[in-house]
């Protein structure tokens, strides 16, 4: 079994999904700007004096997501004893996809908060958090190769 060949397809799938998640973040920003320009000034659909609690919820959730992503990376990429190389590669792919989707959560919540309140500042702060997480944990071939070498020291991976 050639580890490089087995690694290529799951890696590409992970990059594709992660890239789509990043693109979605930019689409959120475009939609926010379109809404702001078409319905200027956009006041949102909820007019309440209790929006500060929602803001605390958003930022608290963003902090939880950052912590959760860090924990999940370790948990989801940990090799089990007796686990075959192909299963480990599939685990890396699944972990990358889960992390990528989870990293999108702060921006999505910020987008929803924008739709409700009309305030784009919080959306952009949370968008930055999501972009940071996406780029920090974006699938990288070198990182995957290193994880495989650490989990399977006898495995030789050659780049094509």
Tens of pLDDT, residue by residue over 71-110, are 999 999 998 988 899 999 999 999 999 999 999 999 999 9
**In-domain check, residue 135:** yes
Residue 83 is assigned to a structural domain of this protein: yes
- Cα(45)–Cα(37) distance, integer angstroms: 16
Is 156 domain-assigned? Answer: no
As for how many domains the chain has, the answer is 1
> Are 106 and 65 in contact, with CB atoms under 8 Å apart?
yes
pLDDT digits 0-9 by tens, 7-55: 899 999 999 999 999 999 999 999 999 999 999 888 888 876 777 888 8
Residues with Cβ within 8 Å of 149's Cβ and at least 6 positions away in sequence, in order, are 155, 157
Give the C-alpha separation, 44 to 1, whole Å: 57
* 157 inside domain: no
Q: Where are the alpha helices (DSSP H) in 77-119?
A: 85-103, 105-117
Residue 114's domain spans which residues?
Answer: 3-151
Q: What is the pLDDT of residue 156?
A: 73
Contact (CB, 8 A) for 154 and 3: no
Model confidence at 1: pLDDT above 60: no
Q: Is residue 158 part of a domain?
A: no
Compute how many other C-beta atoms are within 10 angstroms of the C-beta atom of residue 119: 16
Residue 132 within any structural domain of the chain = yes
Pairwise CA distance, residues 120 & 11, whole Å? 35
pLDDT of residue 45: 87
Phi, psi dihedral angles at 14 (to 5 degrees): -65, -40
Say if 159 falls within a structural domain: no
Tell me the C-alpha distance between 48 and 57, whole Å: 16
In a domain, 50, yes or no: yes
pLDDT at 159 over 70: no
Instruction: For the full predicted model, state whether its pTM sits above 0.95.
Output: no
């Amino acid at each position: 079994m050639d580890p490089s060949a087995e690694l290529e397809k799951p890696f590409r799938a992970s990059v594709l999904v992660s890239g789509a998640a990043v693109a979605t973040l930019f689409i959120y920003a475009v939609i926010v700007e379109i809404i702001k320009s078409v319905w200027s000034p956009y006041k949102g659909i909820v007019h309440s004096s209790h929006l500060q609690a929602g803001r605390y919820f958003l930022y608290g959730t963003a902090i939880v997501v950052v912590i959760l992503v860090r924990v999940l990376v370790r948990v989801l990429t940990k090799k089990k004893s007796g686990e075959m190389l192909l299963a480990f590669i599939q685990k890396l792919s699944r972990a990358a996809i889960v992390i990528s989707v989870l990293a999108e959560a702060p921006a999505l919540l910020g987008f929803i908060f924008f739709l409700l309140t009309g305030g784009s500042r919080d959306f952009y702060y949370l968008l930055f958090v999501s972009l940071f997480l996406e780029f920090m944990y974006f699938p990288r071939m070198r990182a995957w190769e290193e994880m495989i070498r650490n989990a399977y020291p006898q495995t030789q991976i050659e780049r094509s």
